[in-house]
Chains A and B, each alone.
Chain A
Amino acid sequence: MLECKTEMEGHNMQIAVLSGKGGTGKTTVSTNLAKAMGWQYVDCDVEEPNGFIFLNPKITKTEKASIPVPKIDPIKCVGCQKCVKICQFNALAWVNRDVLFFDKLCHGCGACSLVCRYNAISEVDREIGNIDVGNDGEIACLRGTLDIGEPMAVPIIRNLKKMIGNENTIIDCSPGSSCTVVASIEGVDYALLVTEPTAFGLHDLKIAIELVRNMNIPFGIIINRASDEKDLIEEYCEKEKINVLEKIKFDKDIAVLYSKGRMLVEHDKYKDLFLNIGKRIEEEVSCNLL
């Protein structure tokens, strides 16, 4: 494996960390791995970003994230309804001789203003959240936060990903396998699937595996809250020839660090563990580049 290493030079990896469901320790793995390896950390779990709670970076810049939405000029509008028909998201309706606009449903695709031949539609920015840029002294950190009650997560994730610098990066995705996860993992070099050894864990893991396989993303598994015995996840991965990168056993040290809101890598034992995970990922990615 190690001979692949030289190929890595000059290539910056993007590694997505995902989990089929919430609460598997996805953010713990993302933040500690980023910290141990000195990789940039990007929180794409925009509905509930909490990686900054652990990393506690100094925020140097906050930008508004917005999407372009239509504004209809009732004087120019002749009521041809072309805009209503073209909108595949049902964000426009033709009601009582007026175009009704539902801002929360608008994806900002721009189709409506393109089809309006009467120039009645202009585009205005609608704010959907914030992007925070910062660093914790060692690693660069980015975070997207969607405004409360705001459904449009994908555009803010796209904005966020455009801001990723030219360096190795951990992308912390939202749980599940929705379109927000798809947007987060598009184009990454590797996916790290975090799960736990329970029937639910396996069930959700299978869904996540299907997603990354469909998107042709190489991946490996981390089993969190594991015990020494061989568990059902390992059995499954063995059968399916899936790479288990690490089992993180739940012990008292983790509980203590966690309860104090501290990073696991502050403890040497875990620092080594995450360094080891990071190195294995580097190897896997470099071999995939061949």
Chain B
Amino acid sequence: MKIAITSVTKDKESVIDERFGRCNYFAIYDTESKSFEHVENKGVTSSQGAGIAAGQQLLDCGVEAVITGYVGPNAIRVLQGGNVAIHKFTGKSIQEEINLFLDNKLEKINEAGPAHAGMQNRNGRA
């Protein structure tokens, strides 16, 4: 089974990125080979729909579970539609979060965090 963790940098010691759609990398852990692969998040370069692009990318990689902080409503639709379980990280290292996940100790995310968590205010209005 493949588990994707939203990651700030490209190594397995990286801190976890709280944002799903706008994270820099996905650390994809394969429970069979017990190894990591890091892929750039395609959503990061999207002007809109980052979470959808990111979700699509993970589905295309065959990921079955995600560990992250906040997921927007569109990304939830993509991930849940693809039967990917979404889990909330607890602030530990990537490896520890994976262990917690495998022990079934991570909380599931069923509801969207704030949409456009990574987006600036759109115009001059406060």
Contact = CB atoms under 8 A, between A and B. Distances in A.
Interface of A: 19-22, 48, 84, 89-91, 93-96, 98, 100, 102, 105, 174-178, 180-181, 204
B39 interface: no
Contact of A98 (B49, B50, B81, B122): B81
B122 A93 contact: no
- Mostly, the A contact residues are loop
A94 B52 contact: no
Most buried by B among A20, A105, A204: A105
Size range of the chain B interface in the assembly: 20 to 34
Contact of B48 (A89, A181, A204): A89
Interface of B: 43, 46-50, 52-53, 55-56, 59-60, 74, 77-78, 81-83, 122-126
Contacts of B48: 89-90, 105
Please give me the 9 A-B residue pairs with the lowest Cβ-Cβ distance, nearest first: A90-B49, A176-B123, A21-B124, A175-B124, A95-B81, A176-B124, A90-B52, A22-B124, A22-B125
Contacts of A93: 52, 55-56, 59, 78, 81
A265 B52 CA distance: 50
8 contacts: A90-B43, A90-B46, A91-B52, A94-B59, A94-B60, A100-B78, A176-B125, A180-B123
Contact of B49 (A22, A91, A174, A177): A91
Nearest to B59: A95
A105 B123 contact: no
A100 B124 contact: no
B71 to A, nearest CB: 14
